[in-house]
Chain A
Amino acid sequence: MNSIALKAKNIVKYFNDPVTLKVLDDISFEVKTGEFVSIVGKSGCGKSTLLYILSTMDTTYEGELEVNHQKVTGLSLNQLAAIRNSSIGFVFQFHYLLPDFTCLKNVMIPALRLGKYSYKEVEERAYEKLKMFGVEEQALKHAGKLSGGQQQRVAIARALINDPAIIMGDEPTGNLDSKNTAIVFDLFQRLSKEFQQTIITVTHDEDFARRSDRIIEMSDGRIINQH
């Protein structure tokens, strides 16, 4: 079982504002299905930028990206949205929930969008996910009324709801205490080992990175080391 979940080929990214800046310079790597990869590097080296491209949200780059053997570079925005909905779970650097909705709804919405399960099933699954991260008691609270750490855990639950083939996190544990970080790490590891879900996370937590399958180290928009 050595298929490739994600493949980046010569990715180059510029920012033109205020001056043209090459943020990513010829990034190429592969991630195997079920692999748990950490991306590390100094602040401002382009980790988030890379992750946005890998997640198909950012389409203004040079190079080529494949997700699950499908070339996604050049697909229409709506096609990409469908891919994200079904195959990619994303945890943002700053947990972004929808404050007008309850936590439960927040977790449910991507699944309702996907429409694979009935409303009841989606609700049950969402509860399950919230329970995994110990925030089931907050389920019916509005998302805006949670602490930062709680919000982040709800956001992780949301990323997992559609059983995506690839889970991406931009410092998903950045706001969590060591106990909850451990929970998230163990869960990620289980997802990758038992369910063959591919995990790509950006992290500043050295311990977290060291225990993952592989570390990709970046500096100034380049991959300088993989181990």
Chain B
Amino acid sequence: MKLSVNSEIAFTYLFARKKQTVIAALGVMFGVSMFIFMQSLMKGTNDYFEKQSFNTTPHIRLYSENKVADTHILDSFIKDASVKILVNPKQLLQRQGIINPNGVISRLRKDPELSFITPQVTTNVIYTSGSVQLNGTVAGVDIIQEDKMFDVQGNMVVGDFRDLNRVNNSILIGKGIAGKLSLHVGDNITVASGTGSPMIMKIIGIFQSGVKLVDETKSYANIVQAQSLLGKDRSYVTDIKINLKDYNKAPAKAREIETITGYKAEDWVQANAQLKTAFKIRAMILNSVVGVILLVAGFGIYNILNMTIYEKIKEIAILKATGFSGYSVISIFLQQAIYIGLMGAVIGIGIGFLITYGFSKVYIGGPNPTSGTLSYIPMSFYIPHYVEAIFFGLITTIAAGYFPARKASRVDPVTIIRG
């Protein structure tokens, strides 16, 4: 029996009103388990979409951007305080692509936080097969690096992507292109970019990313092939794709790379701005639902404690008469709230886990389960959610318990005892 008197009294009161205690705890339990379920669902979905976006976008894409004409040349010549106005400024044609890409890449390689760096030549093309034409893009890549970054292998439908390095004039096309032009592995396809001369290329494989727009337009070629498709030399590179060890650092890293290289570095957050907005809105909706649940649970506790205090007002007066201080009385009633909260929170995280686990087993049938498309409801099992749930559950109970407890501590024993 190591319990303090305050705790002992708190427990006695809780046990004397088992039913109300349980109901109040159920309220907290409901709030906590819903909190966990919703957070798990939200994080699961967000993670899924985030991961999905990394199947197609690198953490950072470095490229040269056309700039709108500005006044900086004027500024350097006319160094007075005059106001310079450019009328109707236009995009300035920069030299396309990244100058001295190898220099840039070897410089980036020195940064230990970057895990992958690979150059790419992207070009818009027209695919022709027979009399049918199709617009699309060719990504000239180092396919081995590309596979490491984006799991090309996982998207392969037929063929071996490594053949891009072995077979001359080879191309790996999206499933949509193959379908529209009715092409198979081993067939030839004519590919024409805006600048170089058209090339006849041999199809060595077909991939499916699951994103329709990509599958109907994109194909991979060896980077050298893409350069000659554009009629450019070996040093012509349009993008450098960079992955980080920790993708959350991408935005800061991108700014750093921008200042080092002078090129535009677009991080995945910018590239997927709409994704992040969707995350935010989803978070807002779910958090307000959880907030309301916890609020209701809080009112439950507030209510039961208020009722207890109303009923026990004489006993509070006696406790105070026999020498219990206001602090002790607060402690007695706050402890009741905390025990209710703890009980609800502990059961709540158990139930929250079970619900989360249950939902993670619900099959919602992706079109192609093997290609990484959604087949089960994405739920995350993330310890901090559980910690947060307990935290919010307890904060709610303590807040809900504090006011009745304070009221109890202010009971004037004489008024009550005199009757």
Chain A interface residues (CB < 8 Å from chain B): 48, 52, 55, 57-58, 77-78, 81-86, 88, 90, 92, 94, 96-101, 105, 109-110, 112-114, 119, 158
Contacts and interface: CB of A to CB of B under 8 A. Distances in A.
B325 A82 contact: yes
B391 interface: no
B135 interface: no
B318 interface: yes
B414 A57 contact: yes
A94 B323 contact: no
A176 to B, nearest CB: 20
A63 B13 CA distance: 39
A48 B418 contact: yes
A100 B16 contact: yes
A126 to B, nearest CB: 13
Contacts of A84: 321-323
Nearest to A100: B16
Given A100-B12, A100-B13, A85 B418 contact: no
A113 B328 contact: yes
A81 B324 contact: yes
A52 B12 contact: no
Nearest to B15: A100
B18 to A, nearest CB: 12
Given A58-B414, A81-B328, A88-B323, 17 more contacts: A52-B414, A52-B418, A81-B323, A81-B325, A82-B323, A84-B321, A84-B323, A85-B323, A96-B314, A96-B315, A96-B417, A98-B318, A109-B5, A113-B322, A113-B324, A114-B323, A119-B1
Contacts of B202: none
Interface in B296-345: 314-315, 317-328
Q: What 9 pairs between A and B have smallest CB-CB spacing?
A: A85-B323, A112-B5, A78-B325, A81-B325, A84-B323, A110-B322, A100-B16, A58-B414, A96-B318
A92 B417 contact: yes
A217 B4 CA distance: 43
Interface of B: 1, 4-5, 8-9, 12-13, 16, 314-315, 317-328, 413-414, 417-419
Contacts of B5: 109, 112-113
- The interface residues of chain A, by DSSP majority, are classed as helix
Nearest to B316: A98
17 contacts: A57-B320, A57-B413, A57-B414, A77-B326, A78-B326, A78-B327, A81-B326, A84-B323, A90-B322, A92-B318, A94-B419, A96-B315, A109-B5, A113-B323, A113-B324, A113-B328, A119-B1
Contacts of A58: 414
A98 to B, nearest CB: 5
A90 B326 CA distance: 19
A160 to B, nearest CB: 12
Contacts of A81: 320, 323-326, 328
- The interface residues of chain B, by DSSP majority, are classed as helix
Contact of A112 (B8, B314, B318): B8
B4 to A, nearest CB: 8
A142 to B, nearest CB: 10
A221 to B, nearest CB: 16
A29 B135 CA distance: 109
A82 B320 CA distance: 10
A158 B323 contact: no
User: Which of B13, B327, B413 has the most chain A CB within a 10 Å cutoff?
Assistant: B413
Contacts of A119: 1
User: Which of B322, B324, B417, B418 has the most chain A CB within a 10 Å cutoff?
Assistant: B322
Given A96-B318, A98-B318, A86 B323 contact: yes
Nearest to A84: B323
Contact of A55 (B4, B8, B13, B321): B321
Nearest to B315: A98
A100 to B, nearest CB: 4
A158 to B, nearest CB: 7
A109 B319 CA distance: 9
Contacts of A97: 318
Nearest to A101: B12
A115 to B, nearest CB: 8
Contact of B322 (A48, A52, A94, A158): A158
A159 to B, nearest CB: 8
A109 to B, nearest CB: 6
B314 to A, nearest CB: 6
A109 B322 contact: yes
Contacts of B16: 100
